[in-house]
Each structure stands twice: as C-alpha cells, then as structure tokens.
C-alpha cells in the first residue's frame, strides 16, 4: 500500500482540484506538499520519488507559459485550424447575433445559480397592469371566436377598430413615436390573455409587435423613417406585414431568390436612385390587409451605381401596398384558423433607396438585422400563445373533468383521465414558466438567441400535447364545433405554431444545440475567434488562454459528471430550500454531463457534427430541459416557494429529468464512434439510468389540483380571461366548479335516497319534488340541485346546425336562408 500511496494521493488531489476548478499552480503546490508528507511519513521513497518526477514532467511545461506555448499550444493551434469547420458569413452572423444569459451557465458544468436567482422578478408596471385589466379584458369580452372562425373568417369591424383605437399594434413602440412603450413582458402577457379567446386575434396583435417593420425600424430605421412610420404603425393607420418566406426559401432564408436591381426610377414625380424588385412570397401573415410590406431580398448593383460591389447581399425594404407592380394575392386558409395570411408577388416594383430599412448604410445588412431581431419576436409571440392555450386548457379541463360524470363518478377520478390531467397540469406549469422566462430576458435587454429557439420549440410542442389531452378528456364535447366549443379550434391550430417561425424539426435538430454549443460554451467561441486572428503573436496568446481554459473545464466536467453519477447527486453545494436542493443538485449533474458530451462530440466529430442532426437534436433536448427546469425553479422562488405548488413543480421537474436521461441515453447508444459511446456511458451513467417518469402518486396530486379550487390552481390561472360571459364558454365552465363542489354532498345524499326508494322513473323535476316531499332534501337544497343541473347541462351541451348553415357563404349566395339558427343539443 505504501508504494501506491503517492500515486493515489496525486490522483485524489487532481480529482478534487478538478471538481472544484482549482488553479493548476495551486493544485501543483498541494501535490508537492502531499508528496513531501509521504516522503516524511514513511511511504516508499522510490515510489514517492517516481511520483514526484512524473508530476513534475506534467506540471512544469504547463506552468511555464513560454514553454507551454512553444511546445504545446503552437502544435495544437495548427491541428485546431485544420479541424475547425469553415463558417460562412451567414453562419457567423447567426452565431454572433445573440447575447448569452443564464443558458451559458448550463453549458459550464457548474452553474452559478446565484446569477439566475438574483435576476429581478418579472413584474408589470402599474400602467401596464391597468391596460391588461382594462382595454385587454374588454377586447376579450368583445371576442366571439365562432363568429370569427366560421361566420366571418376574419375579425369583425368593431374589433379591428378597437385594436387600432387602443394601439394594440403599438405595444412596444416608444411613446415618443405614438406607441404605448410597454415592455416585452407586457407583450407576453397580452398575447397570453388573448390567445385562448381567439388565436386569430392573438396572431393579428402579435405579428405587428414581433418581427416586422416596427421592430426593425426601432432598431435600424433612420430618424425620418421612425418619425413617419412608427406613429402610423402604432395607431393602425398602417397595417404591417413582413415578407420573408417564399416557395423556394423557407427555413433556408439565406437562399431567397427574390432580388432587387439598383437603378434609376420615378418616385412621387421625381427621378431618384432606387431598387427594382422582383419577388414571390407566401405564408405572409397580415398580407391580405397590410398597407406597409417589409420585404427581404438579395440586392444587386450590376451597373456599379453605389460602388464596386455587384452582389450587395440580403437587404430589407419597406414597400407601400399601392406600389406599381406589387400584387397582394388571395388568402391562404391555414387549418380553419382564418387569420389574415396570403401570398405577395411583385414584378419590377420600384422603390427609392430611402425605403431601405436603415437607409443606404444598411444595404446588404439584412441577414444580420433579421438575426438580431428574430430572437426577440420568437421569444414572445408563439411561446405566449402556447402558454395561454396550455393554461386555459388546464383550468377548464380540470373543471370539466370534475363536473362531467360517468358511472356516477366525475371522469377525473378515473385513472386514465387522471394521467392525462397530470400531463396537462405539469406541461401547463412548464410552458408558463418557460414563456415568461424568455419574455423577461428580452425585457432585461437581452437578445436571447438560444432561449428563444428553446421556447419556440418546446412551448409549441407542449402546447400541442396539452391540446391533444384536452381533446381526449372532452371527447365529443371537444370535436363538435360551435359557439359552445372552446377546445376544437386550438387543436386544429396547433400544427400552425409548430410550423411557423422555423419548422420545429429544423429548430430542434439544427438550431438549439447548433447555436448553443458555440454561443453558450464558455470557450469554443473564444477559441474560434482567436484562431482566426491575423497577428501571429496575438493569435497564439489568446488561443493559449482559451485552449487551456477549455482543457481544465473539460477535465473538471468529466470528474464532476462521474462523481455526481456515482453519488446519485445526493451531495454537493446547492441553493434552494429543503424541498428544492435536490433539484438543483440534479441539474448540476446533467449540466456537467451535457458539457462532457458536447466537448467530446465537437472534438471527435469536428465539422461533421453539424450533419449529425440526430445527435445534435438529442443534445439540444438536454440543454432545453435544463433551461426549462431552471425557469421553473426561478418561477417557484419568485412566487415565494409556495408549498401548494409542489405537485406541479415536482411533476414537471421529474418529467424534464426523465427526458434528459432519455436524450443522453439515445445520444450515447447511437454515438458515431461506438467505443467512445461505451466509455462515456460509464462516465455519465456509472450505475445505469435512474431517472423515472413522474409517478402515478405524484400525477394524482397534480391532477387533483386542477379539479379543486385552491391557491395553486389560481396561480396557474393568472393572466387568463376567465369571466363567465356569453362569449367565453370556458370561463363559464370554470365558474361552475366551486358551486358544483358545494352541491356534491347534497347530490350524493339525494341520489342515494332515490336509489333506495320505490319511486318509479320520473323526469328530474318530478324526482326533486318527491325528494322534498319525502324529506330527503330541503327546499333550498332542491334549488341547489336545480342550479347544478343547469350548470352541468351548459358544461356538456354541444351545438347542432341546419345544413345550410354549414355551407360556405359563396355556395349559398342568393339562396333563401331559413330563419332557424343553430340550437344546442345534449
């Protein structure tokens, strides 16, 4: 044992120093001290001397900077330069366009949780809250989704007028330009409230406040452009749209074939220098009603009118609707969700250079401008829409499952329905936390490129899953469309959110990890930039710092990942209270595992990694679930650690951890270099996979919260429009829940007495009469049961129609419409 002691001491010290990320010089000093102690303490002197020599051979060249750079760094720099995948200008722009927030910590393997927990709690200003409680609530009262989706296929005129009058199109436009000057968090809250009432309305409000002319003008517009257009956009005199996608360029937006040629032309009676545009766009939201069209195109200057550069690059311009040669096409009809959407065509459309967003100075900068603004819009509109839908689905489905009875029991008491309710509850909780976290990041001034892709993908996917479970629980109530249906249109529209603003398949497999691995990694971007420096001395100096920072980081994460795996994450420093410390420790473990997987993949696969989309997608899933879990824990802390929310937090957290292990397992089992996958498995899962999906017991607790009025349920419902008005059947069903629960004991007493009596089958009023006469119930209890029956009928009733009512307006023009309108049916 005395022979092995010096070597064991070195290994132990190196592991502990790596775990705690102690500097190499300090680690070397500790090793020297321990070896001296071994020498003096009776350990085998030969073994101690050999251990000291080996340690010195390793430490000496690493600690002497000039020697290290000459012997090690210069050689590795040459190898790295060959390994480094070539980056196109568009890829480089995409990677450099965003900022890095707490998601960077999740790539570190040792997250600094204080950076997350000290972020200010997201809160609206008094002015914003007043708008949300005033004009926004009134807009919800005015909204009749059946009229919008079936009768008009559009918003009614009074809603268009109201939206313009109250500047819903100018939520984020500064007050100095006539807008409301609200925060990104407020934008999120507005969309979240409107979306469950009508996805047509929420998209109509969301698009002008997302990526489009207003957002681009605020960031890049000239002073003249801002002064003229922003006030008109804020009050609705101009309706904007942004034309990017075309038949041959969807997710690959850099390949747009639309072009503009610099030339002279006539504008407002004067001959000016401008661009003649040819374009073919489709899927453009608000295009059919837009008066101001933002257009992305590739700009060419073949005659050298602006300089020597012929291919200027992607540029952005503002084109008035009445521009000669511009054709606003007919409407698309996206899955029975008739928000204004359609194609735009243009042939020889002339606009002056002054219509370039940002003026002539921004010619060719369109891709950068889009990348810098796209994450802002992607962070809010679709995640907020999904959040609103998931939260409303959770609240109303919980009420419905308690009110609706089969076999004498509320359907929510059946375990199969309970499983679906638990999924709805946990995913609504996660979606709400994730969407608010990304909106809050934008409100703090960040440009969250990676979190925006995480939020867009996972909020819309979880929203679709919630909608599916909502439909399953509602059964026939969900599939029969009509004024009473509050679930069917959300289900129909769910694929739209999956598709727009970057198809989800591409977002997951290419963008989340593809951007995250470089943008969020603490060293990779520094290495890439330093390797491309022109000054050799500066290049070697900076690459050396980044390289050995990366190596120490990788060694630390390997040790941390193995230790967390062996110990089951039961030890280690972590913030939080008694309930959540274990959650933070688990995230520490999987943060280290992600870092190890990312470093190994980039080192061994190099530029081929971006073509390994399945691996990239799985590692993106790990990063995403880490971020989602972090957002949930931050929300829990911001809300004062409410114990009542524990079932929701625990279900959603265990679901996230289970998905992390599934993703890591899939990545390791399918790693392109099989022996490396086996070794990494031993490092990351030394005892095998341990995380399990949320238990049935936990699911029961989460589902019960949705079916019972309580503070946790009220918190989940915050931000929704739940007024029990005529146009809000979901609000009515939710309002019945407390009264229904109060009536349950009376109902049970009455039904038991009726079952044990000799009374022949009678209609319900006659049964109540008999109950009062026999003394089973009092007169007041009779009224309570009558009210219960009315509430139950309103909850379960569906609509039916005359055949003529279901024909399109065009097919029955000139046909005499029967006076009978739709009627409700049980």
Instruction: Please write the tens of the pLDDT for every residue from 261-272.
Output: 999 999 988 999
Q: Residue 89 — pLDDT band, cuts 50, 70, 90? A: low
Task: Note whether 45 and 39 are within 8 A (CB).
Answer: yes
pLDDT of residue 821: 38
Higher pLDDT, 281 or 250: 281
- How many Å apart are CA 10 and CA 22, to the nearest integer? 14
Higher pLDDT, 404 or 61: 404
Residue 610 has pLDDT above 80, yes or no: no
pLDDT (mean) for 175-181: 96
Instruction: Please write the tens of the pLDDT for every residue from 393-447.
Output: 999 999 999 999 998 899 999 999 999 999 999 999 999 999 999 999 999 999 8
- How many Å apart are CA 230 and CA 233, to the nearest integer? 5
Lowest mean pLDDT among 27-31, 41-45, 167-171, 352-356: 41-45
- How many Å apart are CA 571 and CA 564, to the nearest integer? 8
- How many Å apart are CA 114 and CA 645, to the nearest integer? 22
Q: Residue 809 — pLDDT band, cuts 50, 70, 90? A: low
Task: Name the residue among 209, 296, 188 with its Cα closest to residue 718.
Answer: 188
Lowest mean pLDDT among 334-343, 488-497, 536-545: 536-545
pLDDT of residue 87: 61
pLDDT of residue 210: 85
Q: What percentage of residues in the chain have a pLDDT greater than 90?
A: 67
The mean pLDDT value of the chain amounts to 91
- How many Å apart are CA 771 and CA 779, to the nearest integer? 9
- How many Å apart are CA 6 and CA 51, to the nearest integer? 6
3-state SS string over 447-490?
CEHHHHHHHHHHHHHHHHHHHHHHHHHHCHHHHCCCCCCCCHHH
Instruction: Please write the tens of the pLDDT for every residue from 534-559.
Output: 888 888 888 888 888 888 889 999 99
CA-CA-CA-CA torsion for 119, 123, 128, 132, nearest 10 degrees? 130
pLDDT of residue 354: 95
- How many Å apart are CA 25 and CA 63, to the nearest integer? 7
- How many Å apart are CA 808 and CA 813, to the nearest integer? 9
Lowest mean pLDDT among 252-261, 413-422, 782-791: 252-261
pLDDT (mean) for 374-401: 93
Q: Which residue has the tokens 């939080």?
A: 576
Residue 88 has pLDDT above 80, yes or no: no
pLDDT of residue 818: 45
pLDDT (mean) for 464-489: 96
pLDDT (mean) for 65-69: 85
pLDDT (mean) for 139-165: 96
Instruction: Please write the tens of the pLDDT for every residue from 126-135.
Output: 999 999 999 9
Higher pLDDT, 376 or 582: 582
Residue 34 has pLDDT above 90, yes or no: no
pLDDT of residue 273: 95
Provide φ and ψ at 281, rounded to 5°.
-120, 155
Instruction: Please write the tens of the pLDDT for every residue from 110-122.
Output: 999 999 999 999 9
Instruction: Please write the tens of the pLDDT for every residue from 813-822.
Output: 555 444 443 3
Residue 31 has pLDDT above 60, yes or no: yes
Provide φ and ψ at 262, rounded to 5°.
-70, 130
Task: Note whether 342 and 288 are within 8 A (CB).
Answer: yes
How many C-beta atoms surround the C-beta of residue 481 within 10 A? 19
3-state SS string over 532-552?
CCCCHHHHHHHHHHHHHHHHH
Q: What percentage of residues in the chain have a pLDDT greater than 70?
A: 95
**How buried is residue 755: exposed, middle or buried, by Cβ count under 10 Å (0-12/13-18/19+)?**
exposed
Q: Residue 630 — pLDDT band, cuts 50, 70, 90? A: very high
pLDDT of residue 476: 95
Provide φ and ψ at 815, rounded to 5°.
-85, 135
pLDDT (mean) for 173-189: 96
Provide φ and ψ at 276, rounded to 5°.
-105, 115
pLDDT (mean) for 719-735: 96
**How buried is residue 613: exposed, middle or buried, by Cβ count under 10 Å (0-12/13-18/19+)?**
middle
Report the Cα 628 to chain-centroid distance in Å: 9
Residue 2 has pLDDT above 70, yes or no: no
Element (H, E) at 755: helix 729-755
How many C-beta atoms surround the C-beta of residue 331 within 10 A? 17
DSSP string covering 608-669: GGGG-HHHHHHHHHHHHHHHHHHHHHHHHHHTT--GGGHHHHHHHHHHHHHHHHHHHHHHHH
Instruction: Please write the tens of the pLDDT for every residue from 651-699.
Output: 999 999 999 999 999 999 999 999 999 999 999 999 999 899 999 999 9
Q: Is 763 helix (H, G, I), strand (E, B) or coil?
A: coil
Residue 705 has pLDDT above 80, yes or no: yes
Residue 744 has pLDDT above 80, yes or no: yes
- How many Å apart are CA 231 and CA 237, to the nearest integer? 8
- How many Å apart are CA 215 and CA 218, to the nearest integer? 5
Q: Residue 826 — pLDDT band, cuts 50, 70, 90? A: very low
Residue 37 has pLDDT above 50, yes or no: yes
pLDDT (mean) for 578-601: 94
Instruction: Please write the tens of the pLDDT for every residue from 499-514.
Output: 988 889 988 888 888 8
Task: Note whether 575 and 117 are within 8 A (CB).
Answer: yes
Q: Which of 105, 238, 418, 501 is catalytic?
A: 501
Residue 44 has pLDDT above 90, yes or no: no
Tell me whether residue 501 is one of the annotated catalytic residues. Answer: yes
């Amino acid at each position: 044992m005395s022979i092995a002691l010096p070597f064991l001491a070195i290994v132990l010290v190196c592991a502990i120093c790596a775990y705690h990320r102690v500097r190499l010089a300090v680690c070397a000093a500790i090793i020297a001290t321990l070896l001296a102690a071994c020498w003096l303490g009776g350990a085998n002197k030969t073994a101690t001397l050999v251990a000291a020599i080996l340690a010195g051979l390793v430490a000496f060249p690493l600690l002497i900077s000039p020697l290290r750079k000459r012997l090690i760094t210069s050689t590795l720099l040459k190898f790295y330069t060959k390994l480094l995948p070539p980056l196109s200008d568009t890829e480089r722009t995409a990677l450099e366009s965003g900022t890095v927030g707490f998601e960077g910590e999740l790539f570190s393997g040792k997250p600094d949780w204080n950076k997350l927990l000290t972020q200010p709690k997201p809160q609206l200003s008094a002015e914003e809250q007043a708008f949300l409680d005033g004009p926004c609530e009134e807009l919800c009262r005015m909204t009749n989704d059946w009229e919008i989706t079936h009768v008009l296929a559009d918003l009614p005129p009074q809603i268009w007028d109201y939206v313009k009058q109250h500047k819903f199109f100018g939520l984020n436009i500064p007050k100095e330009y006539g807008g409301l000057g609200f925060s990104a968090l407020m934008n999120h809250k507005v969309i979240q409230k409107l979306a469950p009432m009508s996805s047509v309305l929420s998209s109509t409000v969301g698009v002008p406040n997302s990526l489009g002319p207003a957002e681009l003008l605020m960031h890049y517009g000239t002073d003249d452009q801002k002064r003229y257009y922003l006030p008109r956009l804020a009050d609705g005199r101009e309706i904007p749209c942004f034309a990017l996608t075309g038949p041959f360029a969807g997710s690959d937006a850099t390949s747009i074939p639309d072009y503009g040629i610099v030339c002279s032309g006539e504008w407002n009676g004067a001959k000016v220098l401008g661009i003649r545009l040819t374009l073919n766009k489709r899927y453009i939201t608000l295009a059919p009603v837009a008066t101001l069209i933002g257009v992305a195109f590739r700009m060419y200057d073949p005659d050298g009118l602006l300089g020597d550069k012929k291919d200027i690059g992607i540029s952005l311009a503002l084109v008035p609707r009445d521009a000669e040669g511009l054709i606003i096409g007919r409407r698309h009809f996206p899955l029975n969700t008739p928000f204004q959407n359609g194609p735009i065509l243009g042939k020889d459309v002339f606009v002056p250079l002054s219509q370039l967003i940002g003026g002539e100075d921004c010619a060719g900068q369109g891709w950068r401008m889009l990348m810098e603004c796209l994450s802002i819009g992607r962070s809010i509109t679709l995640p907020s829409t999904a959040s609103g839908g998931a939260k409303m689905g959770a609240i109303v489905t919980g009420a419905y499952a308690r009110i609706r009875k089969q076999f004498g029991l509320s359907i929510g008491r059946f375990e199969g329905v309970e499983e679906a309710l638990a999924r709805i509850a946990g995913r609504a909780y996660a979606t709400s936390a994730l969407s608010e976290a990304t909106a809050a990041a934008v409100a703090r001034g960040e440009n969250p490129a990676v979190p925006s892709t995480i939020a867009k993908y996972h909020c819309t996917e979880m929203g679709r899953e919630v909608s599916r479970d909502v439909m399953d629980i509602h059964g026939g109530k969900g599939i029969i469309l009509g004024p009473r249906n509050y679930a069917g249109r959300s289900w129909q529209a769910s694929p739209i959110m999956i598709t727009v603003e970057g198809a989800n398949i591409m977002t997951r497999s290419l963008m989340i990890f593809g951007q995250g691995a470089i943008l969020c990694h603490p060293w990779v971007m520094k290495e890439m930039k330093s390797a491309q420096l022109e000054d050799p001395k500066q290049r070697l100096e900076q690459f050396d710092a980044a390289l050995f920072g990366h190596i120490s980081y990788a060694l630390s994460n390997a040790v941390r990942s193995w230790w967390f795996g062996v110990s089951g994450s039961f030890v280690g420093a972590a913030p939080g209270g008694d309930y959540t410390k274990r959650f933070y420790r688990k995230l520490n473990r999987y943060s280290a595992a992600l870092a190890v997987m990312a470093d190994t993949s980039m080192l061994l696969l190099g530029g081929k990694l971006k073509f390994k989309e399945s691996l990239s997608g799985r590692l993106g899933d790990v990063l995403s679930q880490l971020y989602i879990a972090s957002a949930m824990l931050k929300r829990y802390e911001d809300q004062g650690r409410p114990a009542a929310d524990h079932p929701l937090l625990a279900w959603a957290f265990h679901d996230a951890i289970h998905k992390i292990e599934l993703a890591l397992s899939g990545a390791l089992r399918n790693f392109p270099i099989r022996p490396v996958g086996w070794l990494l498995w031993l490092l990351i899962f030394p005892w095998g996979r341990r995380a399990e999906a949320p238990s049935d017991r936990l699911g029961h607790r989460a589902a019960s919260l949705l079916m019972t009025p309580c503070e946790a349920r009220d918190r989940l419902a915050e931000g929704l429009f739940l007024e029990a008005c005529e146009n809000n059947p979901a609000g009515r069903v939710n309002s019945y829940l407390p009264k229904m629960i109060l009536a349950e004991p009376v109902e049970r007493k009455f039904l038991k007495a009726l079952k044990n009596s000799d009374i022949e089958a009678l209609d319900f009023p006659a049964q109540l009469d008999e109950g009062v006469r026999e003394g089973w119930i009092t007169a007041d209890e009779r009224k309570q049961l009558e009210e219960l029956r009315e509430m139950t009928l309103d909850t379960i009733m569906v609509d039916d129609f005359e055949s003529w009512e279901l024909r399109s307006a065009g097919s029955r023009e000139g046909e005499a419409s029967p006076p009978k309108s739709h009627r409700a049916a049980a």
